[in-house]
Structure 1
Amino acid sequence: MLEKGYYDKADAIIESHGAVEASLIPIIQDIQSEYRYLPPELLSYVADKIGITEAKAFSVATFYENFSFEPKGKYVIKVCDGTACHVRKSTTILERIYSELGLSKEKVTTDDMLFTVETVSCLGACGLAPVLTVNDKVYPSMTPDDAAQLLQKLREEE
């Protein structure tokens, strides 16, 4: 069970969009934006509040790859592995990030909840390949060393 504050925040978000089925996606986008993930308990709560079944709400949330039911770190790093990035060695960048953070394909978030690493099919910046983003800020023409330096800079900001 989540703390009361989560439900209060969900109520405010629902109120801002209207408690109707058509508002499901913007509501859960705002919830995920607030918490960096979509707590399943809140999705059930939202479904009840807007008058749809839990099954429908979970069907929508699982259909879109953007929604995550797992908590994410403060810094969400997305490494592009689309064709342009892949041929320019994005996998070596990903491997370096995994190594620096002690992560893997199976374990994508650091224990301290500081970093989450994801691979994506395309970031839409093929001319800047290889590319990664940190909380949606684009970092073009990356190398494994650049990625390691970026992680160090982010750690120092803490």
Structure 2
Amino acid sequence: MEKTVLQPKNQLQRELPEEKFQELEEYINSLEEKEGALIAVLHKAQEIFGYLPRDVQLFVARKLGVPGAKVYGVVSFYNYFNDKPPGEVIINICTGTACFVKGADKIMAEFEEKLGIKAGQTTEDGKYTLNAVRCVGACGLAPVVIVGEKVYGRVKVDELDQILAKHERKDAK
């Protein structure tokens, strides 16, 4: 099989290591069936790169033989996929019914105020990404906030400074 690796053409591509493109290409080449594999390939690409910038989306499109618009459509449709680099600390606030009833909207509003961003955005310094997510399956702990891998249950608005401080101290260690 012909081996093609995307060569750096602009500043963005120079920031994306060729080794990562090679790893993704090897994964795609290992697939027995490429038709219908778009979502699986995008999951793998996001695992490798951390997000799905335009150059990665176009690389996937070329390797799978699908239009770039189709890849972009999938990336932009599913909340799981990110086309911008996430912050160092990802804050997910459950907005499912139980969490909403228990005040997730107030928690979201307070995080937005404290961080100066809206849900789905990353702070300018790249420290935090704030996301609204659907039910995380912990309704008995509503409202739920997940910071990185740490789950906080029955969160109250006045606890948000403590939650943020725990993740600041972690970086200082």
- The two structures have a TM-score, normalised by structure 1, of 0.84
CA deviation after TM superposition for structure 1 residue 116, in Å: 0.3
Residue 116 of structure 1 aligns to a residue in which SS? strand
For the residue of structure 2 that corresponds to 1:52, the secondary structure is coil
> Which of 30, 36, 48 is residue 50 of structure 2 equivalent to?
36
Which residue is equivalent to 1:139? 152
Q: Are the counterparts in 1 of residues 20 and 48 from structure 2 also a CA contact under 8 Å?
A: no
Unaligned runs of 5+ in 2: 1-9
- Report the alpha carbon displacement of residue 83 of structure 1 after superposing the two structures with TM: 1.9
1:43–1:54 CA contact under 8 A, matched in 2:
yes
SS of equivalent residue, structure 1 residue 25: helix
SS in 2 for 1:73: coil
Q: What are the within-5 Å matches in structure 2 for residues 89-104 of structure 1?
A: 89-104=103-118
Check whether the contact 2:54–2:83 (CA below 8 A) recurs between aligned residues.
yes
Cα distance in 1, alignment partners of residues 31 and 113 from structure 2:
42
Give the C-alpha shift of residue 102 in structure 1: 2.3
Amino acid at match of 2:141: L
Q: Does 1:71 align with 2:85?
A: yes
Structure 2 residue aligned with 1:117, among 102, 125, 130? Answer: 130
Deviation at 1:18, TM superposition (A): 5.2
Question: Structure 1 residue 117: deviation in Å?
Answer: 0.2
- Please give the TM-score of this superposition, normalised by the length of structure 2: 0.78
- In the superposition, relative to structure 1, how do residues 100 and 63 fare at CA in structure 2: closer, same or farther (>3 Å)? closer
How much does 1:13 deviate? Answer: 3.4
> Which residues of structure 1 form unaligned runs of 5+?
none
* Alpha-carbon displacement from aligned partner over 1:87-142 (angstroms, at most 9, x marks no partner): 2111222222223222234x721122121001123222211100011235422111
Query: How do 1:8-47 residues align onto structure 2 when only pairs under 5 Å count?
Result: 8-17=22-31, 20-47=34-61
Larger C-alpha radius of gyration, 1 or 2? Answer: 2
Q: Percent identity?
A: 34
